[in-house]
Amino acid sequence: MLKIGLIGCGTIGTSICKAIDDGTIEAELFSIYDRNMDDVNRLLSTLKRSRPQVMEAATMITEIDILVECASQEAVYEVIPAALHAHCDVMIMSVGAFADQNLYRTIRGLAKDNNCKVYLPSGAIVGLDGLKSSSIEDIYSVTLTTQKPPSGLAGAPYIIRNEIDLDKINGKTVIFEGPASEAVKAFPANVNVAATLSIAGIGFEKTKVKIVANPALTRNIHEISVKGAFGEFTTRVENVPSPSNPKSSYLASLSAIATLKKISDPFQTGT
Ligand SMILES: NC(=O)c1ccc[n+]([C@@H]2O[C@H](COP(=O)([O-])OP(=O)(O)OC[C@H]3O[C@@H](n4cnc5c(N)ncnc54)[C@H](O)[C@@H]3O)[C@@H](O)[C@H]2O)c1
């Protein structure tokens, strides 16, 4: 049975551990860690059957089959290279860390040299299956359009730098258009979605991102349009927040659970 170690006992980490605990994912929850012990204890109190050990990443990586990171971009730098050196597979949620191309190249290289797998769940977007298939042939364009209520963009570096008054927006307004490489810096809250899409498709420079403020919305919407030799497709997801954290999309937690379920399942469906 797959032995899982997990770093980050917040919203996504708790959802994953509960899914292992209730048998949705057929695996053993061997160990967990969080730099905040309150989060560790809160997570442990939600488990009915699993009794994971609490240990730091450096210790758990010699004991487990796969390390699940659902903590922060910082944690990707701290724990993933060491896990790969220890021949441990990894699943990474803080995919935005790969906006740092050096980190991306390092982790790719380490995975290859140590014969390990790096899993990046789809997160809060849909359509990566089609994008992966279409990338076998030429892709002409990939565009991510994110629509949010204006308040959902508050605090973004781009909004602050350009002194955009979000309270004055009274209709659907395009706030930003540019390559994913710029979008991840301008709107860090979009960073995971843009990074996953760029890695699966045509990279951070060629992937285009459009950010739209829409006062009529209560949910965050991600639309992906891909054109290529295969033809074209568009996907659209309206994300509801996680029941336990209004800032996190529920689909992101579900995609993490689905990825681990797929890894532990002998029957693989879909691209
Ligand atoms: N791939 C996606 O589509 C997607 C979607 C949502 C969130 N995320 C990312 O997944 C990560 C987890 O999201 P969440 O909503 O569960 O966050 P959260 O804030 O609810 O939980 C994160 C937990 O990790 C812990 N933590 C942070 N840095 C750590 C470190 N260096 N070492 C140990 N523990 C650490 C925190 O104390 C916290 O308990 C975030 O980086 C977030 O950006 C990715």
Phi, psi (rounded to 5 degrees) for 59: -85, -45
Query: pLDDT grade, residue 19 (50/70/90)?
Result: very high
Phi, psi (rounded to 5 degrees) for 189: -65, -20
Closest Cα to atom 34 of ligand 1: 34
For residue 126, the model assigns a pLDDT of 96
Cβ of 21 below 6 Å from ligand 1 = no
Rounded distance, CA 56 to CA 60, Å?
6
Could you report the per-residue pLDDT of 35-58, keeping only the tens digit for each?
A: 999 999 999 999 999 999 999 999
Helix (H) or strand (E) holding 215: none
What percentage of the chain has pLDDT greater than the value 90?
92
Pocket test for ligand 1, best of 54, 93, 242 (most atoms within 8 A of CB): 93
**The residue type at 97:** A
Look up the CATH number of the domain holding residue 219.
3.30.360.10
Phi, psi (rounded to 5 degrees) for 132: -65, -40
Could you report the per-residue pLDDT of 177-232, keeping only the tens digit for each?
A: 999 999 998 998 888 999 999 999 999 999 999 999 999 998 899 999 999 999 99
The 8-class DSSP code of residue 240 comes to P
Q: Is residue 199 part of a domain?
A: yes
**C-alpha dist (Å) from residue 101 to 135, 153, 185, 204, 258:** 20, 25, 13, 9, 27
For residue 86, the model assigns a pLDDT of 97
Could you report the per-residue pLDDT of 226-251, keeping only the tens digit for each?
A: 999 999 999 999 999 888 877 788 99
Cβ of 226 below 6 Å from ligand 1 = no
Total tally of structural domains belonging to the chain:
2
Ligand 1 centroid vs 80 CA: distance in angstroms? Answer: 14
Active site residues: 222
For residue 242, the model assigns a pLDDT of 83
List of long-range contacts for 52-56, beta carbons under 8 Å, 24+ apart = 52/6, 52/17, 55/31
Closest Cα to atom 21 of ligand 1: 10
Cβ of 220 below 6 Å from ligand 1 = no
Ligand 1 centroid vs 31 CA: distance in angstroms? Answer: 17
Average pLDDT on 259-269 reads: 94
Q: Is residue 41 part of a domain?
A: yes
Q: Which residues pair with 236 in a beta bridge?
A: 223
Query: pLDDT grade, residue 133 (50/70/90)?
Result: very high
Domain residues for the domain of 134 are: 128-239
Looking at the structure, do residues 143 and 183 belong to the same domain, yes or no?
yes
Looking at the structure, do residues 233 and 257 belong to the same domain, yes or no?
no
Look up the CATH number of the domain holding residue 31.
3.40.50.720
